Chain A
Amino acid sequence: MKSIIERIEEEISTWAPKEGAEEVGSVRATGDGIAEIDGLTNAVMSEMVLFDATFDRPLEEALKDTDPLYGLVLNLEEDGVRAVVLGDASRVYEGMLVRRIGRLLSIPVGEALIGRVVNPLGEPVDGKGPIATTENRAIEHEAYGVIDRAPVNEPLHTGIKAIDAMIPIGRGQRELIIGDRGTGKTTVAIDTILNQKSEPESSRPICIYVAIGQKESKTAKLVAELTEKGAMEYSIIVTAPASAPAAMLFLAPFAGASIGEYFMEQGRDALVVYDDLSKQAVAYRQMSLLLRRPPGREAYPGDIFYLHSRLLERAAKLSKEKGGGSLTALPIIETQENDVSAYIPTNVISITDGQIFLEADLFNKGQRPAINVGISVSRVGSSAQTKAMKGVSGKIKLELAQFRELEAFMQFSSDLDADTKKQIDAGRRMTEVLKQKNGEPLAFEMESAVIFAAINGYFNDVEPEEASLAEEKLRNYLSREGVDVLSCIQKTKSIDEEIENKLRKVLDAFHLVAP
């Protein structure tokens, strides 16, 4: 108390009124989180304004309500502006003074954010106290141009066999995860984050998970899981829960991108998961309708494509001159009844560099992750795949494509010739081998060894339905007896002749002990 009094007395003794004028406006009308403001004629788009509840109140009352309440200017009109209230809109009243604060909406960024849970304004919401950052970064930021970028050529391993083998993701890529609710979209993203723990610290990406419109209990569970598995050491959570105003849901992905860009500009790698952009689109539609912008298809505003394209374009692999950092984006889109031809899914599919399509039917059949490899694609990731994975993955795609052709035929014919039956069994075995439990991502050397065993017939002696069990046994065996060969694959990132011979020896030995 004494220190506060001393501090106040010191300030008063040296006080002199501030020089100059400031630009202000007053709230004409407010409702549904939107404020119509008279004045502020020089305000610019995306500028922050401060709703000043202290202006026309006596000091003792004003001191009870000093929490700053900000707004974001989104409509510039003839005699005023419209702004969304970034906080408790019930505190805004007609006639309230609004001040320009002269900066675009920005959030604090820095190392101190790692391990923390923040809201889209960068304020901590994990109860661990203030975050000591020194830098601020605008939430809206222009994406890097062609000259500043380098081709995507480094892999980002997800630890999921089916993805790393057939739909590889590169650092700086934008890969969409799309599917109905409850098909494991978040699980794929979380496993990817968990898998980064197996990366060497020097190349381990900083992972940013942006939870948009999710239940707070789900986010809390996720934070607990990441903490328990030691993944919070390199992760940041940005959360805009379902209970937050629409403006927060709209801003959350941009906040995540800004945080990711900070690390990318430091020459480091970052991974950002937007879970999910369908909810962001709905929030943006709500805001746009309240801002009286003309509705278009499905009542979304005309710039809904630009909303997502400008966000996802910020993912990049920077050139060496720019530090060589990268920002990989894994946007998530929820579909209704597997309809990928709806407005938002088609938009985001066309923006991204590929998509991982998860299907409810496959999920219900027990194939997890429920990836439909037929329509999933990665447009740039294959050039980033390690030699080890590239060497073993080509054959899987062919085998599974043949299996899909025959699978349909199989339902109509009971008498199959031996060759066809063999191909079908091989496909079923491969499908079983690619199954994986959630929360158990595999290091890429283990993935390569397992897939090598599968395509070279090491599971041919087991019934197709037991291939999954045999694969698990093989992994256990490899982690006991194949440490050398695994470390060779990890070091060289390839399976050359020498490593192949070593691997075959271990696999032959496994074949003998566990038929």
Chain B
Amino acid sequence: MDSYTRLLEIVAQTEDKKISDDAVSRLILHLKSRGRMKMLSKIARELKKVAIRRQSMLPVIEVANGNDKLKALSEAHAEGFSTDTVRINTKLIRGWRARKGGTLVDRSAKRALIDIYTQAL
């Protein structure tokens, strides 16, 4: 199943609808011929997970306060984050943080406060 999912994942990267439709039809034929149609729902579920994972890898900028949007954007761009979408995250305290794939830049005060708290304890 992993191999089928991986294959479709690669096909999806081409972003050509005709190619991906063709790949899906061929996969269905292949599964039918092997009597493994039950796997189709599992493959779909796996692909959804992959899509969610991909989504989480996209660049995202979060600010604690809406007024800081512009400042956060310019600072995040300077750090190499190429996105214009900024989300307000009420769980943050002062400043902003941005994440892209496996990179995190945290310019908020929340983590510093937690560090102080644990050190003081």
Q: Which residues of A line the B interface, CB within 8 A?
A: 4, 7-8, 11-12, 15, 17-18, 20-26, 28, 38-42, 54, 56-59, 62-63, 66, 95, 97, 99
Contacts and interface: CB of A to CB of B under 8 A. Distances in A.
Contact of B113 (A4, A28, A59): A59
Contacts, number: 75
A57 B109 CA distance: 14
Interface stretch (B17-25, B27-35, B37-45, B100-108): B100-108
Interface in B63-113: 79, 90-91, 93, 95, 99, 101-113
Given A17-B112, A26-B56, A66-B118, 7 more contacts: A17-B95, A17-B108, A23-B103, A38-B56, A42-B102, A66-B114, A97-B104
Contacts of B117: 8, 63, 66
B53 interface: yes
Nearest to B114: A54
A25 B99 CA distance: 10
A17 B102 contact: no
A62 B101 CA distance: 24
Interface of B: 53, 56-57, 79, 90-91, 93, 95, 99, 101-114, 116-118, 120-121
Contacts of A39: 57, 101-102
Given A7-B120, A39-B101, A21 B93 contact: no
- Looking at chain B's contact residues, the main secondary structure is mixed
Contacts of A62: 110, 114
Contacts of B116: 7-8, 11-12
5 contacts: A17-B108, A22-B103, A23-B103, A24-B102, A66-B117
B17 to A, nearest CB: 25
Given A17-B106, A22-B106, A63-B114, A57 B120 contact: no
Contacts of B91: 56-59
Nearest to B112: A15
A38 B114 contact: no
Contact of B106 (A11, A18, A25, A95): A18
A17 B64 CA distance: 14
Contacts of B53: 28, 38
7 tightest A-B CB contacts, nearest first: A39-B102, A17-B107, A24-B104, A21-B105, A11-B116, A58-B91, A66-B118
B106 A4 contact: no
A251 B113 CA distance: 33
A17 B103 contact: no
Contacts of A38: 53, 56-57, 102
Contact of B111 (A4, A20, A54): A54
A21 B114 contact: no
Contacts of A41: 102
Given A4-B120, A7-B120, A11-B116, A25 B111 contact: no
A59 B93 contact: yes
A21 B120 contact: no
Contacts of B121: 66
Nearest to A43: B102
Nearest to B101: A39
B112 A11 contact: yes
Nearest to B53: A38
Contacts of A95: 56
A311 B83 CA distance: 49
A8 B120 contact: yes
A38 B57 CA distance: 9
Nearest to A54: B114
A22 B103 CA distance: 6
Contacts of A12: 109, 113, 116
Contact of A24 (B95, B99, B112): B99
Contacts of B104: 21-24, 97, 99
Nearest to B89: A56
B55 to A, nearest CB: 12
Nearest to A4: B120
Contacts of A40: 102
Contacts of A24: 99, 102-104
A97 B62 CA distance: 15
A385 B32 CA distance: 76
B26 to A, nearest CB: 25
A12 to B, nearest CB: 8
Q: Could you say which of A12, A39, A63, A66 has the most chain B C-beta atoms within 10 Å of its C-beta?
A: A39
A23 B105 CA distance: 9
Contacts of A18: 106-107, 112
Nearest to B99: A24
A184 B41 CA distance: 58
Contacts of A58: 90-91
B12 to A, nearest CB: 15
Nearest to A78: B6
B102 A59 contact: no
Nearest to B49: A28
A285 to B, nearest CB: 24
Nearest to A17: B107
A358 B89 CA distance: 65
A506 to B, nearest CB: 64
A156 to B, nearest CB: 43
Contacts of B112: 11, 15, 17-18
B79 A21 contact: yes
A5 B61 CA distance: 32
Contact of B102 (A20, A23, A56, A57): A23
Given A38-B53, A63-B114, A17 B109 contact: yes
A250 B109 CA distance: 38
B16 to A, nearest CB: 23
A39 B54 CA distance: 11
A57 B91 CA distance: 6
